[in-house]
Structure 1
Amino acid sequence: MSRERISMIAHADHPIKSPLDDDSVSRLLEHGLPRGDERVLDLGCGTAEWLLRALESRPHLHAEGVDVSEASLRHGRLAADERGVGERLVLHRQEAADFASPRTFDLVISVGATHAFGGLLPTLAAAREHLAPGGRVLIGESFWDRAPSPAAVEMFGDLADLATTVDLVVADGWTPVHGHVSTRAELDAYEWACWGSLASWALDHPADPASAQVLEAATDARSQWLHGYRDSFGFLCLVLRRT
């Protein structure tokens, strides 16, 4: 089974592919969309869940999303039609870093997708190119909450701590106007949802040729989390304006 398919199964019960609960997502969108009639762009949108939630609660909003996964975009298009917002959503299949648009956007979202641009600051540079005057950026990035193990560093790379991460953003010319640090409950709920969904799928499909592979993937990922990075990994979302 492809990694893309495994990811789709893992996130079946947690469509926001980051350690955030529904209330946190709603608050971040409220701060990113103060008017309710903005034009929104999500760079690395996956199944477009951020955009779908914004569109559902704001009937005058228009949104576009960019992702390389055709399966994720197909899922997003179907969900948009089912939720009655398909006419206000445009999805593009291409590398987010290569996306160009003739229009600018009032909110640019990139949560958990900074790897697509080569890091936090390159992601902000890309977002700046799409931002309308006075616009906002909603970005989500990992950080080390405490000293990581060598295994955690091997998995996630050379992350900064929380204070350094915010300092880097401010030094780059941005002002945080809202922020959210994922709680232990959010972090744990996300991990249990992902690896539990995978394990359940494998147990529910014992005759599928991929069942053993999926169960092994769930077991390995759960072990890496519990033994490797649970005590050190953190996740930060910021709503930013240009200084």
Structure 2
Amino acid sequence: MERQEIGRIAHRDHPVAAPLSDASVHRLLERQLRRCPNSSALDLGCGEAAWLVRALTMHPNLQAIGVDTDPAALDDGRRAAERAGVEGRLALHHADVREFEAADSFDAVLSVGATYAFGGLLPTLEAVRPLLAPGGTLLLGECYWEDGQPTDHAREFFGDDLTDLSGVLATLRTAGWWPIAGHTSTREELDTYEWSWTGSLTDWALDQPPGPDRDQALAAATRHRHQWLTEYRDGFGFVTLLLRPDVTA
């Protein structure tokens, strides 16, 4: 099994591929999209397009584009859009987010938990700025470390530039961005996400016949659960911020 397939299975029972509750997702989208209910949204690293499908159901005049490198996730996103009746307003592109070129700018750009795809937080901000229409906003989800120094594994898994929450905000300000709203994931949200990730993968594996896929999925769930509980549960945090660029910067 490829890593992307494991990730799709692990996220199948959670609202989005990030540690946020259903209510938190709705509140953040409502805050962002009230500025542009009749316009356009772009999700860079959209995966199965869960954020965009939700946004399209909330705002019937919105048009949306999603970009991701996982074709199977994009197929799942198209099916989800069909079930929700919003497929006519959603275009999904199989492409590297660093190479995506848009003909128009967007009132809302999303990149939640996907800064790794750009090579870090600063490259993400640099890539998004020219894609935003005047007055547009970026919904950005980023991890941070809140208790002492990150472990070597945490830096390897979450990125070498892993810092605390104040460090994330300092980076944003240095790059010329202002937070206008935000949500810091609670311990309940973080734990629920991890239990869902490992539990969904385990549940899927137990329904499979004996073989390599079953064994690999169970091993991945067991390894992930051990690392969560012993290496990063007490230090890992996740923040989702609604940002506007400083046009004078």
- In the superposition, the TM-score normalised over structure 2's length comes to 0.95
User: Would you say the 8 A contact 2:104–2:131 is kept in 1?
Assistant: yes
Which residue number in structure 2 is paired with residue 235 of structure 1?
238
Which residue number in structure 1 is paired with residue 155 of structure 2?
153
Which residue number in structure 2 is paired with residue 132 of structure 1?
133
User: Would you say the 8 A contact 2:179–2:243 is kept in 1?
Assistant: yes
Q: Secondary structure at the match of 2:12?
A: coil
Structure 2: tracts of 5 or more residues without a match: none
Which residue number in structure 2 is paired with residue 6 of structure 1?
6
- How far did residue 201 of structure 1 move? 1.2
* AA aligned opposite 2:77: G
User: 1:191-229 deviations in whole A, cap 9, x for unaligned?
Assistant: 000000111111121334411111011001100100010
Report how many residues are paired.
243
Structure 2 residue 185 is matched with structure 1 residue 182? yes
Which residue number in structure 2 is paired with residue 206 of structure 1?
209
Which residue number in structure 1 is paired with residue 75 of structure 2?
74
Structure 1: tracts of 5 or more residues without a match: none
- How far did residue 27 of structure 1 move? 1.2
Instruction: Give the distance between the partners of 1:149 and 1:222, measured in 2 at CA.
Output: 16
- The 5-angstrom pairing of residues 12-91 of structure 1 reads 12-35=12-35, 36-91=37-92
Structure 2 residue 119 is matched with structure 1 residue 121? no
Structure 2 residue 230 is matched with structure 1 residue 222? no
Instruction: Give the distance between the partners of 1:151 and 1:189, measured in 2 at CA.
Output: 22
- How far did residue 15 of structure 1 move? 4.1
Structure 2 residue 172 is matched with structure 1 residue 169? yes
* AA aligned opposite 1:168: T
Which residue number in structure 2 is paired with residue 193 of structure 1?
196
* AA aligned opposite 1:51: L
Instruction: Give the distance between the partners of 1:54 and 1:241, measured in 2 at CA.
Output: 19
* AA aligned opposite 2:156: E
User: 1:45-68 deviations in whole A, cap 9, x for unaligned?
Assistant: 000000000001110111000001
Q: Secondary structure at the match of 2:163?
A: coil
Sequence identity of aligned pairs in percent? 53
